């Protein structure tokens, strides 16, 4: 067993034999065995025991752990926590509160002692029970894969790993080892209490399954191992898909490229949505199955008019939040303000005049300025290769001053540059160049002599644009005050 | 229920309402319900009933199905099969033999009636039982995903799908439907017999789990749905990986590019090995977990000296079977002859003379010929862009005739073309250009004036190769008699 254990530490837990390990020791058979094995391999240990303050024997048990550590000349830290009060305070079940308090204590000790890892005594039997528990709770692959030999439990530490070196060793092996080495474990009576869910799995369900199909436990353990690798392969796919499809994220929102999302397989779509939800609601432990299915259904045929209520105060919607692109799919908190809708608008029905040089103020801190720039090759080059939709260069001699700035009116037409003077209904043009629907009504238009000279967000009109014969240039530009 | 059923047929089973469906009808509640629902939607049906010849009531039950079909004016086919004898003959369990006989019968009928699908009555409860059965048997994701609404069961047909339209409907719903529509199902007493494994799952395990965790069945059903999509995503990855990594396959063998395989994630490696085994042993139902793990361990650090025994008479080995490349990983039957080792060899220690024009015979049907070809641009172009390692062009005036053909001797050196006349020990050269180790001893060498003029499989020597000043060309070429 010692050799198998050494192999596990090296191959699965990545331990450095010269550095300290914090060992969680309740005093039960599993943790005593873990302690003894690590000791035999010569590790520097910090024995950590948390008294949960739940059972009358707890003090005696803590003492026993302390005494053994003293005999062995090892550092031992014992703390007490009122778990019942913590459960009350944080509205958790007793089991959850105990778990929270325990890991908090263990990782605090690990940081204090600059340990390389926290080792806990989960066994192969625990693994099987965990998998079954996840199965009955309806977890997907991420749950069925069970626990890991090595993990970074981000809730507790982003550097110090949690390791489970006994994960491949069965309880029967541990009990034999304990006896052989004359170790005296505490026997926690609550481990027999069948009112606890896990105990019913351990003492009823697992034996029943073994009886139904001998070797079932071992096979479930193996299955978890395979599923762990399957899950890892899928997570790699999700990483790639996330990097490709997630276009923006911020306080309370994540935006996906809709077509990119639709091109993924169902499994990856589902995981991307779950990952998005996990980003926005990091504390959420169970993400509702039905919510994810609602999201996927919507994703197959999203419409602008719908907002899908997911869960935990999140929504999913298709929203035009940028000029000149397909609408993105936004996963967002109901109360979140989506970004990107920060574009220039004018009050519908209003009209302002713009001189050159000159500047006018628009709502929400936007300004539109006009100034003269030299008609030289550098300026022409800039005008022809313009990538900023909020600036343009016009031919002064082809403009009628003052320019007007107003929103759209019935009958507006536009001759986009590069279409040979062909004119379109402005409403069609706005659709074609993917001006977000909700931006259209208040979209500023620059008018010269009754005709649209520029639709901001796009190029200037054919008649007003600069050309090689242009001798005087007017430069228009929108700016937002920071 | 009818609407839900119509949706399933359309969305999950892809049925065409105008074409015939073969319905497997045992006469039990599930199949009666399936029949009734399809009938209500106006499908053209062929009712197919197989009497397994196992129970005394079977004839009466068959009659009842026939009568109902006659009343309804539907085509009904009843056949009898001696399943017990079949089980004996083919060394199968009764359940397996019954299943084999049944599907064989159903798909035969489907072909006869040019049906679009075979419909069977598996329910949501059956799905849960199937998942649990796979769990206890230790199946991976492919088993935990359960059954499909739609599948092409290649063992029976590569065109006609097997559909399970009731897969999302629970037995309780079916019983209510049956009662509401006054249908009288056969009640097969063997469904209650707890000696049958599936019946113990149905009548003991599932109720126990429901009691332990109400709603567990429903959650297991949902989990299977998610896992189905996960599995599909992984299978897509495997398809891509297979196309990239599988370099050759034939009777009894599959060859993988070793580095390509090593670059895959563990999950994909495992699946590629499994797929390879499935290709070589299509009948094999359970592939041993330990065999796959042995394969993966070997794959991490393969050596030429090892052959790994997998299972079902298969081996895994690293083998140099081609000239000029890294060794491949061969998955093969123990008795299979690997291809590619079919290269020219000479008897070690022997020596033959080669005239031009002329031809000599080598072992195993190989021949080496020499002939003159014109020294024109077309020939030069061919010589400089040569892709066939078993031919070369030499400068006649730089050769001493007769040429000798022999295997390597101690002290042999070689001046490879393109290395500026630099000479190497032949043994080093053979390693560098990746001549398979076992080919080296008998590898033919073409000698001119005591020096190696050509190492077949590679280019000619620097002194003997054709160059722009060459006026007479000798063309050497190996051929194998078919």
Q: Does B139 touch chain A (CB under 8 A)?
A: yes
DSSP A336: P
> Are A141 and B233 inside 8 Å of each other by CB?
no
Cβ contacts of residue A457 below 8 Å, gap of 6+?
A323, A324, A343, A389, A390, A433, A435, A443
> How distant is the Cα of A216 from the closest Cα of chain B, in angstroms?
5
Provide, as residue numbers in chain A, all residues whose Cβ is less than 8 Å from the Cβ of B138: 215-216, 218-220, 222-223
Place of tokens 């560098």: B432
> Are A265 and B233 inside 8 Å of each other by CB?
yes
For residue A140, give the nearest of B201, B215, B223 by CB distance: B223
What gap in Å lies between CA B400 and CA B423, rounded to an integer? Answer: 19
For residue B136, give the nearest of A137, A213, A234 by CB distance: A213
Q: Which of residues 283-302 of B touch A (CB under 8 A)?
A: 289
For residue B229, give the nearest of A223, A227, A266 by CB distance: A266
3-state secondary structure chain B: CHHHHHHHHHHCCCCCCCCCEEEECCCCHHHHHHHHHHHHCCCCEEEEEEECCCCCCHHHHHHHHHHHHHHHCCEEEEEECCHHHHHHHHCCCHHHHHHHHHHHHHHHHHHHCCCCEEECCCCHHHHHHHHHHHHHHCCCHHHHCCCCCEECCCCCCCCCCEECCCCCCCHHHHHHHHHHCCCCCCCCHHHHCCCCHHHHHHHHHHHHHHHHCCCHHHHHHHHHHHHHHHHHHHHHHHHHHHHHHEEEEECCEEEEEHHHHHCCCHHHHHHHHHHHHHHHCCCCCCCCHHHHHHHHHHHHCCCCCCEEECCCCEEEEEECCCCCCCCEEEEEECCCCCCCCCCCCCCCCCEEEECCCEEEECHHHEEEEEEEECCCHHHHHHHHCCCCCCEEEEEHHHCCCCEEEECCCCCCEECECCCCCCCEEHHHHHHHCCCCHHHHCCCCEEEECCEEEECCCCCEECCCECCCCCCCEEEEEEEECC
Read off the pLDDT of residues A319-362 as tens digits, 9 standing for 90 and up. Answer: 877 666 678 999 999 888 777 667 888 988 889 999 989 999 99
Read off the pLDDT of residues A66-118 as tens digits, 9 standing for 90 and up. Answer: 999 999 999 999 999 898 899 999 888 888 899 999 999 999 999 999 999 99
Q: What 3-state class would DSSP assign to A281?
A: coil
Q: Best of B197, B229, B272 to disrupt the A interface by mutation (most A CBs within 10 Å)?
A: B229
Could you tell me the pTM of the whole model?
0.78
Q: Considering only alpha carbons, which residue of chain B is nearest residue A270? A: B226
Q: Does A233 touch chain B (CB under 8 A)?
A: yes
Provide, as residue numbers in chain B, all residues whose Cβ is less than 8 Å from the Cβ of A200: 212
ipTM for the whole complex: 0.77
Alpha-carbon distances of A22 from A29, A52, A122, A149, rounded to whole Å: 17, 18, 15, 15
> Are A289 and B222 inside 8 Å of each other by CB?
yes
Contact A397, A472 (CB under 8 A): yes
What gap in Å lies between CA A219 and CA B311, rounded to an integer? Answer: 18
> Are B205 and A200 inside 8 Å of each other by CB?
no
Read off the pLDDT of residues A16-43 as tens digits, 9 standing for 90 and up. Answer: 989 999 999 999 999 999 999 999 999 9
What gap in Å lies between CA A373 and CA A168, rounded to an integer? Answer: 75
Provide, as residue numbers in chain B, all residues whose Cβ is less than 8 Å from the Cβ of A266: 229, 232-233
Q: Flag residues of chain B having pLDDT under 50.
A: none
Q: What is the share, in percent, of chain A residues with pLDDT greater than 90?
A: 63
Provide, as residue numbers in chain A, all residues whose Cβ is less than 8 Å from the Cβ of B218: 138
> How distant is the Cα of B297 from the closest Cα of chain A, in angstroms?
13
Q: Considering only alpha carbons, which residue of chain A is nearest residue B225? A: A140
> Are B140 and A230 inside 8 Å of each other by CB?
yes
pLDDT of residue A176: 96
Q: Does A384 touch chain B (CB under 8 A)?
A: no
> Are A136 and B213 inside 8 Å of each other by CB?
yes
Q: What 3-state class would DSSP assign to A31?
A: helix
φ and ψ of A460, to 5 deg: -70, 175
Provide, as residue numbers in chain B, all residues whose Cβ is less than 8 Å from the Cβ of A205: 208-209, 212
Q: What are B357's two structure tokens?
A: 């024009």
What gap in Å lies between CA B208 and CA B62, rounded to an integer? Answer: 35
> Are A200 and B212 inside 8 Å of each other by CB?
yes
Please count the helices (runs of H) and the strands (runs of E) in chain A.
17, 21
Cβ contacts of residue B51 below 8 Å, gap of 6+?
B58, B59, B61, B62, B78, B79, B80, B81
What gap in Å lies between CA B146 and CA B138, rounded to an integer? Answer: 13
> Are B136 and A232 inside 8 Å of each other by CB?
no
> What is the mean predicted confidence (pLDDT) over A183-203?
81
> Are B135 and A223 inside 8 Å of each other by CB?
yes
> Are B230 and A234 inside 8 Å of each other by CB?
yes
CA–centroid distance for B309 within its chain? 19
pLDDT of residue B186: 84
Q: Which of residues 250-279 of B touch A (CB under 8 A)?
A: 265-268, 270
Q: Considering only alpha carbons, which residue of chain B is nearest residue A292? A: B226
Cβ contacts of residue A276 below 8 Å, gap of 6+?
A246, A254, A256, A331
Q: Considering only alpha carbons, which residue of chain B is nearest residue A201? A: B212
- The least confident of A437-441, A451-455, B291-295 is A437-441
Read off the pLDDT of residues A254-280 as tens digits, 9 standing for 90 and up. Answer: 999 999 999 999 999 999 999 999 999
Q: Does B226 touch chain A (CB under 8 A)?
A: yes
State which H helix or E strand residue A308 sits in: strand A307-309
> How distant is the Cα of A277 from the closest Cα of chain B, in angstroms?
17
Provide, as residue numbers in chain B, all residues whose Cβ is less than 8 Å from the Cβ of A212: 136, 197, 200-201, 205
> Are B230 and A230 inside 8 Å of each other by CB?
yes
For residue B265, give the nearest of A136, A222, A236 by CB distance: A236
Place of tokens 């009843």: B78
Q: What are B276's two structure tokens?
A: 């390879």
A295-304 core/surface letters (b: 16 or more CB in 10 A; e: else): bbebbeebee
Q: What are A58's two structure tokens?
A: 């707890």
Cβ contacts of residue A30 below 8 Å, gap of 6+?
A121, A122, A123, A126, A166, A171, A174
State which H helix or E strand residue A141 sits in: helix A141-144
For residue A229, give the nearest of B135, B216, B270 by CB distance: B270
pLDDT of residue B341: 66
pLDDT of residue A232: 95
What gap in Å lies between CA A264 and CA A240, rounded to an integer? Answer: 11
> How distant is the Cα of B56 from the closest Cα of chain A, in angstroms?
29
For residue B237, give the nearest of A140, A216, A233 by CB distance: A233
Q: Does B141 touch chain A (CB under 8 A)?
A: yes
What gap in Å lies between CA A11 and CA B195, rounded to an integer? Answer: 44
- The least confident of A127-131, A370-374, B93-97, B116-120 is B93-97
């Amino acid at each position: 067993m010692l050799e198998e254990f050494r192999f596990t530490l090296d191959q699965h837990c990545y331990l450095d034999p010269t550095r300290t390990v914090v060992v969680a020791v309740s005093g039960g058979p599993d943790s005593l065995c873990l302690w003894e094995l690590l000791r035999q391999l010569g590790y520097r240990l910090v024995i950590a025991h948390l008294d949960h303050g739940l059972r009358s024997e707890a003090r005696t048990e803590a003492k026993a752990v302390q005494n053994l550590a003293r005999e062995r000349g090892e550092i031992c830290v014992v703390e007490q926590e009122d778990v019942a009060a913590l459960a009350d305070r944080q509205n958790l079940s007793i089991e959850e509160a105990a778990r929270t308090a325990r890991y908090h204590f263990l990782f605090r000790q690990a940081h204090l002692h600059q340990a390389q890892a926290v080792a806990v005594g989960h066994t192969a039997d625990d693994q099987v029970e965990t998998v079954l528990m996840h199965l009955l709770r309806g977890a997907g692959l991420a749950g069925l894969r069970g626990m890991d030999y090595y993990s970074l439990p981000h809730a507790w530490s982003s550097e110090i790993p949690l390791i489970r070196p006994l994960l491949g060793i069965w309880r029967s092996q541990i009990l034999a080892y304990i006896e052989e080495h004359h170790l005296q474990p505490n026997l926690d009576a609550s481990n027999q209490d069948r009112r606890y869910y896990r105990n019913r799995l351990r003492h009823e369900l697992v034996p029943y399954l073994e009886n139904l199909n001998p070797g079932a436990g071992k096979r479930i353990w193996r299955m978890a191992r395979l599923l762990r690798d399957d899950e890892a392969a899928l997570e790699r796919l999700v990483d790639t898909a996330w990097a490709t499809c997630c276009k923006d994220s911020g306080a309370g929102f994540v935006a996906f490229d809709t077509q990119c999302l639709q091109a993924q397989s169902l499994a990856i779509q589902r995981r991307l949505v779950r990952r998005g939800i996990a980003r926005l609601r990091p504390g959420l432990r169970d993400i509702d199955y039905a919510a994810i299915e609602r999201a996927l259904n919507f994703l197959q045929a999203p419409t602008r008019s719908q907002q899908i209520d997911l869960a935990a105060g999140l929504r999913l919607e298709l929203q035009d939040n940028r000029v000149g692109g397909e609408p993105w799919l936004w996963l967002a908190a109901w109360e979140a303000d989506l970004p990107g809708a920060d574009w220039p608008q004018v009050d519908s029905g209003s009209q302002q005049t713009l001189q050159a040089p000159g500047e006018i103020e628009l709502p929400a801190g936007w300004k539109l300025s006009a100034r003269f720039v030299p008609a030289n090759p550098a300026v022409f080059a800039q005008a022809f290769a313009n990538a900023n939709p909020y600036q343009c260069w016009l031919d002064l001699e082809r403009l009628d001053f003052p320019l007007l700035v107003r929103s759209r009116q019935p009958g507006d037409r536009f001759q986009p540059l590069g279409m040979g003077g062909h004119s379109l209904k402005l409403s069609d043009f706005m659709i074609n160049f993917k001006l977000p629907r909700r931006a259209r009504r208040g979209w500023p238009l620059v008018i010269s002599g009754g005709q649209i000279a520029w639709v901001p967000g796009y190029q200037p009109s054919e008649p007003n644009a600069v050309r090689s014969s242009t001798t005087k240039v007017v430069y228009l530009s929108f700016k937002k005050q920071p």
